[in-house]
Amino acid sequence: MTTITVTVNGKQHSAEVEPRTLLVHFLREQLNLTGTHIGCDTSQCGACVVHINGESVKSCTTLAVQCDGASITTIEGLAQGGQLHALQEGFWEKHGLQCGFCTPGMIMSAADLLQKNPNPSDDEIRHGLEGNLCRCTGYENIVRAVRYAAEKMNAVPAD
């Protein structure tokens, strides 16, 4: 067993983990943060995407011990003060989800995209989400949801 200390969604956690424990299992089973989904265990679907030190990472192929000292954000950490993140709101408003299984990973990948490119074109959104699979929606509403969030995040507040 190895002791790791990580900050997850702003809260520090120290825990004993086996060296082979995947980050997705640590988050779900030890921290009870079940919004990060396990879809394939091979990094093909993107349902497990989280942010590690601000970068989008597939947690099904990342060892928990690799994250010792890191800051991790999961889907549960995007909403602030009871307010949905613009992406969470966009997926709701623009019907970017059906079964919802891929949604956490899609939103986390889209958040990384919008951090790097606050005003992406539809093609750039599609390219930014290439590592995430949705078996339900056909992606059009997902692109609309990300565009909605980008526009909302870039809006200048009225005085």
Supply the range of the domain harboring residue 147. Answer: 86-154
27 and 53 co-located in one domain: yes
pLDDT of 41 reads 74
51 band by pLDDT with thresholds 50, 70 and 90? very high
- Are 14 and 32 found together in one domain? yes
Among 19, 52, 77, where does a domain finish? 77
Q: Are residues 69 and 99 in the same domain?
A: no
Closest CA to 125 of 96, 153, 146, 154: 146
Do 110 and 150 lie in one domain? The reply is yes
Going by the DSSP 8-state scheme, the letter that residue 10 receives in this structure is: T
Q: Please give the average per-residue pLDDT across 6-13, as a whole number.
A: 98
Task: Supply 54's token pair.
Answer: 């601000």
Q: Which domain CATH number covers 72?
A: 3.10.20.30
Closest by Cα among 149, 132, 49, 156 to 94: 149
Q: What are the strands of the beta sheet with 55-58, ordered from one edge?
A: 11-17, 2-8, 71-73, 49-52, 55-58
- Two structure tokens written together for 145: 């949801």
Task: Report the pLDDT value the prediction gives residue 149, as an integer from 0 to 100.
Answer: 97
Going by pLDDT thresholds of 50, 70 and 90, the confidence category of residue 17 is: very high
pLDDT score, position 135: 87
Closest CA to 113 of 104, 105, 125: 125
For the chain, the average pLDDT equals 94
> 156 falls in which pLDDT band (50, 70, 90)?
low
- Whether 65 and 90 map to the same domain: the answer is no
CA 135 to chain centroid, in Å, comes to 18
Give me the number of domains the chain comprises. Answer: 2
Among residues 77, 98, 116, the one where a domain terminates is 77
Residue 136: its pLDDT value, please? Answer: 87
Indicate whether 137 belongs to any domain: yes
Query: Tell me: the pLDDT tens digits for 118-134?
Result: 999 999 999 999 999 99
User: Residue 72 domain-assigned?
Assistant: yes
159 found inside a domain: no
Report the CATH number at residue 131.
1.10.150.120
Same domain, 97 and 32: no
Structure-derived torsion over alpha carbons of residues 111, 116, 120, 125, reported in degrees to the nearest 10: -50
- Compute the average pLDDT of residues 96-111: 94
Q: Are residues 126 and 143 in the same domain?
A: yes
Shared-domain flag, residues 96 and 71: no
- pLDDT tens profile 18-43: 999 999 999 999 999 999 999 887 88
> Does the pLDDT of residue 157 top 70, yes or no?
no
Residue 41 lies in a domain: yes
Whether residue 108 sits in one domain with residue 67: no
The residue from 35, 52, 77 where one domain ends is 77
Does residue 158 have a pLDDT over 70? no
